[in-house]
Amino acid sequence: MRIFTFDTTLRDGTQGEAVSFSADDKILVVHKLDELGIDYIEGGWPGSNPKDKDFFARARDLQLKHSRLVAFGATRFAKNTVEEDASVNALIAAGTPVVSIFGKSWDLHVHRALGIEESQNIELISDTVKYLKAHGKEVVYDAEHFFDGYCANRDFALRTLEAAKKAGADVLCLCDTNGGMLTSRLAEICADVRKNFDGILGIHTHNDSELAVANSLAAIDQGFAHVQGCVNGYGERCGNANLISIIANLELKMGHTTIGKERLTHLTAAARYIAELANLPIRNDQAYVGPSAFAHKGGVHVSAVLKDSATYEHINPKLVGNRQRVLLSDLSGKGNVLYKLKQHGLEDRLDDTARRELLDRIKQMEFQGYELEAAEGTFELLVREALRPGLQFFEVVSYETTTKSSGTSTATVTLKAQDGVHSGTAQGNGPVNALDLALRQCLSSLYPGIAGVRLTDYKVRVLDNKKGTAARVRVLVEWSDHRRSWATVGVSENVIEASWFALVDALRLELMRLGENDPTIQRAVEDYCWGV
């Protein structure tokens, strides 16, 4: 069955804590969702704030290939006629082909929130839908708090839907606004509504009971063909239904069509792109698209996955644009190491004995506080050191840093290389930056290729915080050479020393890589190793 997707990330999603998009961000999100093949994109509430008004003014120039842009609002105020209601007229002025409006379905809200009679609420719904239809709009009617309203007064809740339907609403969307409905009960109510109403029915759920995705799928099982949600489950309180997971489940598990199989491979990239714009890193454990969604750590799991990935993966990660990962830790077995060796193209270069020794070293480092799950650069360095245990590009003689009260840091580094002793002094924005600059200064004349490596991220984690400032820390540093990225890790009770370990390991690894293709580096290293 064809299921229509309705994204409300730019409206309902922005009601989530710490979620905020500028008008520029919204334009970028719209383009990405259009590329993904989302049917409806709700851009905001043009009558509620200047930012949304500005967005809709700019959105008129968008040339969307698939999606239809939606403006969101409410039924008219009880004190206004629909013709003079500013909020309703702002929906028309937004210039979108589709309008989504919400109305009250729960008699509690009618009496307490609006302070009007039930018959008046029916008129608000009917008048607003008719007015919007008269202006040529496709109308999605969101029945707010429908499930709570149905449980409290079934007859009234159904009459609100009937009012919207008779007035010409194109979609009747039932909303679990408080997010409290259990799946079995929601399915029963959806089945009853389906019996009483033809046409397109929609579902809009919130995640306060951790059931938003399940509830959305249950409604579709009852014949609903329109589903609303937010990318990555953003939204007020506990969030909205995660539209990413809904799409994947509908396409891969239930046999329905949403964005289509060919676009499904872009799901992970879209989810992560929008997470970046929201400045909210995607959860590692997010289903289907998270970095850990197909990550394996236990040795038994990895051993089985190497034989057949279906043993511990419910789908092929490539179907949603994700990838399989194998993690290294004290829980690792030989299979984990073999997998990582294959990943780096080094599987044929270590025998069984060397692999066991490498695994023992990894487990010992993990015990000391190192984390190699995220530091694949450190793992690659360990492998390369195992392959060539005598290889040494330079020897650290000394390093020191000072930081003045003005905030300026200075570092001095002294190294011994094949052509003698090199010293470098540099100032930087903090001691780690100064050390990085001084280290490169020492190495650049002998190994100019190092200039292409840059530090892209720096993270510090306290490992045993009960010791306060004497606690051991783990420093994770991410790097890029403009072609690929990797991370190295250092551990110490001294944050500067931990950072130094990560800095040195990153440059040693890059020199090993460069040496494979640069004979001048290879000769320099061989000469130096011979003399050590």
Is 264 part of any domain?
no
Instruction: Please give the single-letter amino acid code of residue 44.
Output: G
Is 135 part of any domain?
yes
Is 65 part of any domain?
yes
Same domain, 490 and 510: yes
Same domain, 81 and 177: yes
Between CA 497 and CA 86 the distance in angstroms is 63
Same domain, 327 and 416: no
The CATH number linked to 236 is: 3.20.20.70
SS (H, E, C) 330-396: CCCCHHHHHHHHHHCCCCCCCCHHHHHHHHHHHHHHHHHCCCCCCCHHHHHHHHHHHHCCCCCCCEE
Q: How many C-beta atoms lie closer than 10 Å to residue 37's C-beta?
A: 19
Pairing of strands 295-296, 325-326: parallel
Is 69 part of any domain?
yes
Is 271 part of any domain?
no
Same domain, 304 and 190: no
Same domain, 321 and 408: no
Q: What is the pLDDT along the chain (532 residues), one digit of tens a residue?
A: 999 999 999 999 999 998 999 888 999 999 999 999 999 999 999 977 888 888 999 999 899 999 999 999 999 999 999 999 999 999 999 999 999 999 999 999 999 989 999 999 999 999 999 999 999 999 999 999 999 999 999 999 999 999 999 999 999 999 999 999 999 999 999 999 999 999 999 999 999 999 999 999 999 999 999 999 999 999 999 999 999 999 999 999 999 999 999 999 999 989 988 988 887 878 989 999 998 898 777 666 766 766 777 888 899 999 999 887 665 544 455 555 666 566 656 566 667 777 777 777 767 776 666 665 566 777 787 777 777 776 778 889 999 999 988 888 999 999 998 778 999 999 998 999 999 999 989 888 888 887 788 888 888 888 766 666 667 888 888 888 777 778 888 888 899 999 999 999 888 888 888 876 655 555 444 444 433 3
Is 369 part of any domain?
yes
Same domain, 326 and 242: no
Same domain, 36 and 148: yes
Same domain, 70 and 100: yes
Between CA 510 and CA 389 the distance in angstroms is 16
Coil, helix or strand for 531?
A: helix
SS (H, E, C) 495-527: HHHHHHHHHHHHHHHHHHHHHHHCHHHHHHHHH
Q: How many C-beta atoms lie closer than 10 Å to residue 243's C-beta?
A: 30
Coil, helix or strand for 170?
A: coil
Same domain, 373 and 401: no
Same domain, 208 and 329: no
Same domain, 381 and 445: no
Give the domain range for residue 510: 395-531
Same domain, 115 and 239: yes
Q: Considering its fold, how many domains does the chain have in total? A: 3
Is 55 part of any domain?
yes
Domain end residue (candidates: 259, 279, 312): 259
Nearest to 185 by CA among 233, 147, 156, 154: 147
Is 420 part of any domain?
yes
